[in-house]
Structure 1
Amino acid sequence: MTHPADPEFPEPTHLPFTLPRLGWPEAVLLASIPLAVALTLAGLTLTGAFSNYTFIDPGLLVTRGLPIARVIHDGAAAVTVGLLLLATFVLPGQNRVPGIASYSQWSAARWAARAAAVWAAAGIAVLVFTAATTIGVPVTDERFAKQFLFFATGIELGQSLLVSVIGVLVVFVTLLVSKRVSVIAFAAAVALLALLPLALSGHAAGSDEHANAVDSLAIHLLGVSTWVGGLIGLILLRKRLGRDLAVVIGRYSVLAAWAFVAVALSGLINASLRISSPADLLQSYGLLIVVKSVILILLGLAGFWQRQLIIPKLRKDPADHRAFIRLAVTEVVFMAVAIGVSVALSKSAPPVSQGSVAATDVQLSLLGFPFPEPATIGRMLTAIHPDWAFLGGAAVLAGCYLAGVVRLRRRGDAWPVGRTASWLVGCVLLAYVTSGGPGVYGQVSFSTHMIQHMGLMMFVPPLLVLGAPILLALRALPKRHDHSRGLREWMLVVVHSRFLRVISFPAVAGILFAGSLVVFYYTDWFEFSLDTHQGHVFMCLHFLATGYLFFWVIIGVDPGPQRPSYPLRIILLLATLAFHAFFGLAIMSSDTIFAIDWWHALGYTDDAALLADQHVGGGIAWGAGELPVLFVTLAVVRQWITSEEREAKRYDRNAARTGEAELLAYNERLSALAVRDRDRDRDRDRDLS
């Protein structure tokens, strides 16, 4: 695809990259960096954060360098993520060389590579300065090098920062070696993942409600980076987009709206965990929250103004983008102020203590919430402790699905009510398993943990699979016509990919589904999921994903690789049920207590009681698989019967349309075979006589 901004664009694989002329928008963007730094230092002075180094002072370089490096780090991260998301989902593509990025996509990727280099350098500086702050030793001290190595590899805070830096370096190298759109999308995914470990380096790590604090901070980082970085990317690429600018801004505005909601809700959760009453908003820390909230509201109004007034005007006259640029640059300046305030907040002590409560309440420090009353059937059904990340995810899944159904019906297309009901029940069950009784008691005992595990693996996935979400999305989402890849196009790429063909092969899907049980419980992964929040989240996502994949192969109706025959599906189900029974019996007969250190840390000292509870959990693993497998087996039989009926109806329609030409041709072939056999028998009899 050729764009007005590059009429001589010859071949997307061989292009010199030239830096754009530095105009006033780029100059303002550069000036936003020292503005954010100045506001960060002013905010830290206001909250008295610099006075916390009275007893252990790592030096002026560290105390002032850490917030400065963090501002540059966050800004570069936002630019990297925003540009890569634009290239992946928003910018127009080309079709002359399949799979290769267009000029605008390639330009965004090159800018992202440069931003990733700055992000990595700033990340290293943040890692070094954070180590010096934690250890209390200046970086110039001869003891620092040895202690830094231990901090980066042996302490969770250092490990999270190191993992983030490694992820950024992977992004940088990936963008240098390939110009394929799929590789750019991979780099975007890695860049988003590189943001997540940073949530463990804030106030959230060891405090009360640390799970929700870490999750909300992670969502906040993702939303801010998408929103801010995408807008900066549009400013940098405005001249390369030409007449496509209006379409691109319209697509970005949808992405920005989702980011705005994520930032607002996650910020609200974060603030509620760090202030105890409205009176705290009058303190220095609370005033920074108020400033950030006011900026968020103003940015939301600016986004609404842009969507309602500026984008329609730009569509009428694509060459006149001055109003958009003025508003966008103004938004970025306010965003820079918000970033500066955010860094100051992250390095200041909030009114509510965010320190570890292990000295006063070990169970609270381990769980992140008060230890619940002993589990009963009633409490398992009624207990609630919101896991806001999974609750929000379930709500988004249900809302988007209903929006797709409404869109289909408005244009006159039907969608089975059973699929909608199955999907919604699956979303409700997901919310219950993560925030209801199984979520409350999942870390308290082995048996209740197994209830949560079986819910995530055996009950939620088949309900979601029967909802056929991919088929609904492909029918409801609009098709792109500029060779870019929106959500619909990426879904098609994934469902027809070689990777999905491999993992959806019945044996592979079965091994991932059943084999991960053994790996999870007979390695340190189980205790890791109990002892750390990231381990718990990874456990939930893994068993949801492997369960969804397995049941998608068995009963899925979404488009994708060819599925096995119906008899083979039933055999696979029976084999899975047998494995679950064997796995449950193995746990019931085991004399080794899994994750014994965790249970002892919670205060359980009776090993015999722990082993008895583990045996109960094994019985749950054995019995919990029977009901969903029976349900899925009935679904397979029903699909088998209906497929035969559809095939019969198809045959009847074809016969009516062709005058039973297929049957006549078949009979003619049989007659020809009969004549051939008769002639052969006659010739053989003549030879014998």
Structure 2
Amino acid sequence: MPRVVRIVGPALLLLVALASAVAALQFGGAATPEPIADPGPVVRYGLPLAKLIVNIGAAGTIGALVLASFAMSRDKREFGLALDIAAASAGVWAVASAAAGFFSFMTIYLQPISIDDRFGDLLAQFLTEQELGQSWLYTTLIAAALTVLCFAVRNQTLVAFMAAGSIAGLIPMALQGHAGGTASHDAATSAIWLHIVFAAIWLGGLLTLVISSRTLDKGRIVPLLTRYSTLALLSFVVVAASGYVSAEIRVGTLGNLLTPYGILVLIKVGALGVLGVFGVMQRRYLIGRMTATGARKYFWWLVTAEIAFMGLASGVAAALGRTATPKPEVPATASTGATPAEILTGSPLPPPISFTNLFTLWNFDLIWVLFCAFGVFFYLAGVWRLKKRGDSWPVLRTVLWVAGMALLFYITNGGVNVYEAYLFSAHMLAHMTLGMMVPVLLVPGAPITLALRTIRKRDDGSRGAREWILLATHSKYFDVLSRPLVAAAIFVVSLWIFYYSPLFRWATTDHLGHQWMIIHFLLSGYLFVQSLIGVDPSPHKAPYPLRLLVLLATMAFHAFFGLSLMTGTGLLLADWYGAVGWGISAIDDQQAGGGIAWSVGEIPTVALAIAVAIMWSRSDERDSKRYDRKADRDGDAELEAYNDMLAARATTRRRQ
């Protein structure tokens, strides 16, 4: 049976996906000729089918690289075969991306293909100057680079970086497709990216297991399936959540579910539900049966059915990208009567800022909703595992971690996130909270210590979460970054570089830049706080006097930065904060942001200084107690030796 599945499985996936895509295109109306400016049937069918092959190729690449990084052993044949699968899939991804880019150009060119210079110049201009063409060009180049790297690289650490790079390679694709309207563009972009990434891990991981099954013996298939099932369960949750957000943005009301687009969404939801049932059967029944009896017949039948439903979902998803949504997507322009705020941000001005609105208005970002939810869930699961085996874990650490995640959730989804695109002061409040307040709560939670105590150690040569954490914390890079001087330099220098370089504009005007800003501030702040009061293991523990000096110097730089904004008379982004039409002085708001940088940023700094002083005092107390116990054991031999040395020196001086 495994040999049949290896051949039939990928073919069945492709066949079902292509058939369902063609049927969905016809049902949804995307294959109907346009009354004006029709690109022809080859382009109408070719573009969505090329995108379908792109999705499958990307899934094979990402799924194989993720399994090779987190599930497979470097010393076994399975690892090399997974990289070969990734290389072949990346090649398919690159060719299909090039075809999709060409078909996208043909939807605009609307002329027969020619070999003259004009056609080549227009195609080159589309690929290098227009956003849609650039996204397909970047995707093609990334996939081509991954094809070469997957053949050449066999180092497990580099494979993990390649997996991260392949996931980042889906960002240009996430910026295409339905924008979701003006007010929901950012939410739609986040949902699309999460959807395609975790669908790729889910589908590609299963294909990798199927194709590589010939290299797996009976004792090897079960642990790989168990690890894949964990990834599949996580992917199912993210795909379901992101799919709901995307459908809510594009469908809008329950009545729109009866439109062609809504019916296709329901078909995709049904396929996802069946896949969820298959996942439950696999985790609850079949893996245990295989462990007990070694029988794998029913498992491979289930895998075949699962691949077929994944093909159905993939085909419908490709057609949905070309089907008209029942909720119109109108870009914000001056010709449509949009306000300056809508043209700049994509959303109308919120109500005037107030204490009540800061805690009642929400602008949810699915990436950070899921990050905070998973952060709390896995932390509490680790604490529960410790309690279950009889070990203790300080309650205060749990409280601080949950509080830190709650604060991170509010800053990235609450009222501050609503106003920070319009008010510099709200942006600065978010920055100071992400860089200082949230890390001060998260670092004492000691998540690395908890992970090392609860995640099971692997003995088959593969690297799980525990092995990757140990590798990172014992690396030379972390040794350098964990030093207070280096961490403080990153924290302070990046502050000045960010606001006085084009990075600030990118983070303000672009959703991708905004996500980078959140990650950077959070990581740099976490690294700085960890170097001062971290409980987790670190290759370098600086003396407490040096920590206090570094902290005081950082406070001075923070105060100087805030003062420079408070006294400055030039807007950092005059064509943004000065043009949204808020009705208040933009320079006064920027100066208020400087006051926030000075005052709000110093509050957690003072808390850090107190924490360092307390830890220093407790360290001295522990050293004193340890010295007293040693003196009790050896009769204070060290002091006696010291006194004898002084007496000998005194005798020598008298003789001289």
Q: Does 1:527 find its partner at 2:505?
A: yes
Note the alpha carbon deviations across 1:66-121, whole angstroms, 9 max, x for none: 11211111001111111111111112344xxxxxxx32212211211111111122
Q: Distance in 1 between matches of 2:161 and 2:228?
A: 19
Partner of 1:641: 617
TM-score by length of 2: 0.94
> Which of these residues, 104, 122, 146, is aligned with residue 121 of structure 2?
146
Distance 1:154 1:280 in 2: 37
SS of 1:201's equivalent in the other structure is coil
TM-score of the aligned structures, taking structure 1 as reference length: 0.90
Is the 2:363–2:414 contact (alpha carbons within 8 Å) kept by the matching residues of 1? yes
Closer/same/farther in 2, CA of residues 108 and 680 from structure 1, 3 Å limit: farther
Matched, 1:507 2:485: yes
State the one-letter code of the partner of 1:57.
D
Contact 2:139 2:169 in 1 (8 A): yes
For 2:190 and 2:429, the matched residues in 1 are separated by 23
Residue-by-residue CA offset, 1:335-354 (whole Å, 9 max, x unaligned): 01110000000111110112
CA contact (8 A) 1:212 1:389 kept: no
Q: Identity of paired residues, percent?
A: 38
| 1:93–1:482 Cα contact (<8 Å) kept | no
- Which residue of the partner structure matches residue 70 of structure 1? 51
In the TM superposition, what is the alpha-carbon distance from 1:137 to its structure 2 partner?
A: 5.3
Cα pair distance change 1:79/1:675, threshold 3 Å: same
Shift of 1:260: 0.5
Compute the displacement of 1:139 (Å): 5.2
Are the structure 2 counterparts of residues 514 and 229 from structure 1 closer, same or farther at C-alpha, using a change threshold of 3 Å? same
The code of the aligned residue for 2:487 comes to A
Matched letter for residue 483 of structure 1: G
Matched, 1:198 2:168: no
* TM-superposed deviation, 1:51: 3.3
Shift of 1:380: 2.2
Q: CA 1:52/1:610 → structure 2, altered by over 3 Å: closer, same or farther?
A: farther
Corresponding residue of 2:94: 120
CA contact (8 A) 1:208 1:365 kept: no
Given the alignment of the two structures, is residue 331 of structure 1 paired with residue 306 of structure 2, yes or no?
yes
Corresponding position: 1:378 with 2:356: yes
Deviation, structure 1 residue 312: 1.0
Q: 1:251 aligns with which of 224, 227, 232?
A: 227
CA, structure 1 residues 256+668, in 2 after alignment: closer, same or farther (shift >3 Å)?
same
Report deviation, 1:470.
0.7
- Counterpart position of 1:36: 17
Match of 2:519 among 541, 563, 571: 541
Return the alpha-carbon distance in structure 1 between the equivalents of residues 160 and 149 of structure 2: 10
8 Å Cα contact 2:183/2:347 also seen in 1: yes
Aligned to 2:644: 671
Correspondence 1:300 to 2:276: yes
Could you tell me how far 1:546 is from its partner in structure 2? Answer: 0.9
Letter in 1 for 2:196: L
Give the Cα–Cα distance (whole angstroms) in 2 for the partners of residues 569 and 226 of structure 1: 42
Corresponding residue to 2:373 among 390, 395, 402: 395
1:178 corresponding residue in structure 2: 153
Aligned partner letter, 1:112 = A
Query: Alignment partner of 2:32: what SS?
Result: helix
Q: Which stretch of structure 1 is more off in the superposition, 455-464 or 171-180? A: 171-180
Q: Distance in 1 between matches of 2:529 and 2:443?
A: 7
**Matched residue type, 1:302:** F
Q: 1:456: how far off?
A: 1.2
Distance 1:395 1:28 in 2: 35
- In structure 2, give the amino acid aligned to 1:117: G
Q: What is the identity, as a one-letter code, of the residue corresponding to 1:562?
A: H
- Give the corresponding residue for 1:18: none
The reply on whether 1:278 has 2:251 as its aligned counterpart is no
The corresponding residue for 1:110 is 84
Q: Distance in 2 between matches of 1:513 and 1:302?
A: 47
In the other structure, the counterpart of 1:7 is none
Aligned-pair CA distance for 1:290: 1.0
Query: Separation in 1 of the partners of 2:113 and 2:641?
Result: 91
Paired residue type of 1:354: E
The whole-number CA distance in structure 2 between the counterparts of 1:527 and 1:109 is: 39
CA distance in 1, matches of 2:121, 2:533: 56
The equivalent of 1:361 in structure 2 is 338
Q: Which amino acid aligns with 2:353?
A: A
**Alignment map for 1:97-496 (pairs within 5 Å):** 102-134=76-108, 136=110, 140=114, 142=116, 143-204=118-179, 207-242=182-217, 243-318=219-294, 320-358=295-333, 359-362=336-339, 363-364=341-342, 366-496=344-474
**Distance in 1 of aligned mates of 2:481 and 2:105:** 41
Change (3 A) 1:164 1:569: farther
Aligned CA-pair RMSD? 2.3
Contact 1:174 1:183 in 2 (8 A): no
Cα distance, 1:135 vs. partner?
Answer: 5.2
Do the aligned partners of residues 379 and 200 (structure 1) sit closer, same or farther apart at CA in structure 2, a change above 3 Å counting? Answer: same
Deviation at 1:465, TM superposition (A): 0.9
Q: SS of the residue aligned with 2:216?
A: helix
Q: Aligned partners of 2:234, 2:182: CA distance in 1, in Å?
A: 28
How much has 1:549 moved relative to structure 2?
1.0
Q: Decide whether the 8 Å contact of 1:29 with 1:329 is kept in 2.
A: no
Residue 208 of structure 1 contacts residue 354 of structure 1 at CA under 8 Å; is this kept in 2? no
- Contact 2:429/2:596 (CA < 8 Å) preserved in 1? yes
C-alpha distance after superposition, 1:145-179 (max 9, x if no partner)? 33333333333333333333333333333323321
Distance 1:508 1:132 in 2: 52
In structure 2, give the amino acid aligned to 1:37: L
2:36 equivalent in structure 1: 55
What does residue range 559-570 of structure 1 map to in structure 2 within 5 Å?
Answer: 559-570=537-548
Deviates more, 1:430-439 or 1:586-595: 586-595
How far apart in 2 are the matches of 1:78 and 1:194?
12
What do the CA deviations read for 1:298-326 (whole angstroms, capped 9, x no partner)?
111111111122111111233x3222222
Q: Distance in 2 between matches of 1:482 and 1:529?
A: 43
Contact 1:132 1:144 in 2 (8 A): no
Cα 1:655–1:129, aligned 2, differ >3 Å: closer, same or farther? farther
Q: What is the letter of the counterpart of residue 527 of structure 2?
A: L
Structure 2 CA distance for aligned equivalents of residues 25 and 174 of structure 1: 25
Gaps of 5+ in 2: none
Q: Residue 136 and residue 435 in structure 1: after superposition, are their counterparts in 2 closer, same or farther (change >3 A)?
A: farther
Query: Structure 1 segments of 4 or more deviating over 6 A?
Result: none
Q: Tell me the distance in 1 between the aligned counterparts of 2:71 and 2:493.
A: 39
Among 45, 59, 68, the alignment partner of 2:26 is 45
Aligned counterpart in structure 2 of residue 89 of structure 1, from 70, 74, 79: 70
CA–CA distance in structure 2, aligned partners of residues 513 and 162 of structure 1: 35
1:79 counterpart (55, 60, 63): 60
Could you tell which deviates more after superposition, 486-495 or 170-179? Answer: 170-179
Cα contact 2:424–2:577 (8 A) shared by 1: no
Structure 2: distance between partners of 1:558 and 1:140: 64
Q: 1:463-515: CA deviations, max 9, x gaps?
A: 11111111111111111121211111111111111221222233322222111
Query: Against the structure 1 CA distance between its residues 461 and 24, is the aligned structure 2 distance closer, same or farther, given a 3 Å change threshold?
Result: closer
